A and B are shown apart, each in its own frame.
Chain A
Amino acid sequence: MANHLFFPLLVPLLSAVLATLVGQRRVIARSIALAAVLFDLGYSIWLLFAVGATGRMVTQADDFAAPFGISLVADGLSAIMLTLTSIMMLVTVLYSFSTVSPYRERYYYYPLLLLLLFGCGGAFLTGDLFNLYVWFEVLLVASFGLITLGGERGQLEGGLKYVVLNLMGSTSFLIGAGLLYGVAGTLNMAHLAERLGTLQQPGIVTAVAGFFLFAYSSKAGLVPVFFWLPTSYHTPTVAVSALFSGLLTKVGIYALYRVFGTVFQRELERYGTLILVIAALTMVIGVMGAMAQVNVRRILSFHIISQVGYMIMGLGLVGVAGLAAGILYMVHHIVVKTALFMIGGTAEYLAGTGELKQMGGMARREPILAGLWLLASFSLAGLPPLSGFFGKLGLIQVGLDQGQWLMVGVAAVVSLFTLFSMLKIWNEVFWKRANVDQTAMPRASALLIAPSALLVALSIAIGFGASPVLRYSRYSAEQVFNTQSLVQDVCGPAGCDAVTSTANNQ
Chain B
Amino acid sequence: MYESMILRTIARLMLPLLLLLSLFMVVRGHHLPGGGFVGGLLASAAIILQIVAFGPDYAREIIPVNYLRVAATGVGFAACWGLLALVQGQPFMAARWLDTPIPGIGKLGTPVMFDIGVYLTVIGVTTQLALVLAEEPTLYPLRRSPPPQTEPMAPEA
Give the B-binding residues of A (Cβ under 8 A): 1, 3, 6, 10, 13-14, 16-18, 20-21, 59-63, 99, 101-103, 150, 237, 349, 352, 442
Complex contacts, A14 vs chain B, CB 8 Å = 76, 79-80
A3 touches B76 (CB 8 A): no
| Contact flag A60-B91 (CB < 8 Å), given A101-B154, A102-B154, A352-B157 | yes
Determine the distance from Cα of A241 to Cα of B81 in the docked complex, in whole angstroms: 35
Contacts of B151 in A (CB 8 A): 103
**CA–CA, A14 to B82, complex, Å?**
12
How many Å lie between the Cα of A59 and that of B95 in the bound state?
Answer: 16
A105, chain B: closest CB distance, angstroms = 10
Nearest residue, chain B, Cβ from A18: B76
Q: Given the known A-B contacts A14-B76, A17-B72, A61-B92, are A6 and B86 also in contact in the complex, defined by CB atoms under 8 Å? A: yes
| Given A61-B91, A99-B156; 4 other pairs, CB 8 A cutoff | A21-B69, A21-B73, A101-B154, A103-B151
Q: Is the CB of A21 within 8 A of B91?
A: no
Chain B positions 137-157 with a Cβ under 8 Å from a chain A Cβ: 151-157
Q: How many inter-chain residue pairs (CB < 8 Å) link A and B?
A: 63
When distances are taken between beta carbons in the complex, the residues of chain A under 8 Å from B75 are: 13, 17
The SS class assigned to the A binding surface is helix
Contact A3–B72 (Cβ < 8 Å)? no
Contact status B72-A6, CB under 8 Å: no
**What is the interface of chain B, defined by CB distance below 8 A to chain A?**
68-69, 72-73, 75-76, 79-80, 83, 85-86, 89-95, 151-157
Kindly list chain B residues whose C-beta atoms are within 8 Å of the C-beta of A101.
154-156
CB distance from A19 to the nearest CB of B (A): 9
**With A13-B75, A13-B79, A17-B79 known to touch, is A103 a contact of B90 (CB < 8 Å)?**
no
Distance in angstroms between the alpha carbons of A99 and B155 in the assembled complex: 11
> Can you report 24 A-B residue pairs in the complex whose CB atoms are below 8 A from each other?
A3-B90, A3-B92, A6-B86, A6-B92, A10-B86, A13-B79, A14-B76, A17-B75, A18-B76, A20-B72, A21-B69, A21-B73, A21-B76, A61-B91, A62-B91, A62-B94, A63-B85, A63-B91, A101-B156, A103-B151, A103-B152, A103-B154, A150-B153, A349-B156
B92:A349 contact, CB within 8 angstroms: no
Set B80, B91, B155: member contacting A3, Cβ < 8 A: B91
**Interface pair A62/B154, CB less than 8 Å apart:** no
Residue of A nearest to B92 (CB): A6
Give the distance to chain B from A377, nearest Cβ to Cβ, in Å.
Answer: 24
Among A16, A63, A442, the residue within 8 A (CB) of B90 is: A63
Inter-subunit contact A6/B91 (CB<8 Å): yes
Q: Which residues of A contact B93 (CB under 8 A)?
A: 61-63
CA distance A59 to B153 in the complex (A): 46
Q: How far is the CA of A442 from the CA of B157 in the complex (A)?
A: 9
A62 to B96, CA, bound (A): 11
Check A62/B95 contact, CB under 8 A, given A10-B79, A17-B76, A237-B156. Answer: yes
Return B120 CB to nearest CB of chain A, in Å. Answer: 11
Q: What CA separation (Å) do A349 and B155 show in the bound complex?
A: 11
Minimum Cβ distance to chain B for residue A151 (Å):
8
With A21-B69, A103-B154: A63-B94 Cβ-Cβ less than 8 Å: yes
What distance in Å separates the Cβ of B74 from its nearest Cβ neighbour in chain A? 9
Q: Please, how many angstroms separate the alpha-carbon atoms of A349 and B89 in the complex? A: 49
CA distance A61 to B153 in the complex (A): 44
A191 to B91 alpha-carbon distance, docked (Å) = 20
Give chain A residues whose Cβ lies under 8 Å from the Cβ of B86.
3, 6, 10
Highest count of chain B CB atoms <10 Å: which of A1, A6, A13, A17:
A17
* Residues of B contacting A17 in the complex (Cβ-Cβ under 8 angstroms): 72-73, 75-76, 79
What residues of chain A lie closer than 8 Å to B83, measured between beta carbons?
A: 10
Residue of A nearest to B153 (CB): A103
CB distance from B80 to the nearest CB of A (A): 8
For the complex of A and B, list the 7 residue pairs with the smallest distance between their C-beta atoms, beginning with the closest: A17-B76, A63-B94, A20-B72, A6-B92, A62-B93, A101-B154, A17-B72
A1 interface neighbour in B80, B91, B156, Cβ under 8 Å: B91
Q: Which residues of A contact B68 (CB under 8 A)?
A: 20
A99 CA / B154 CA spacing, docked (Å): 12
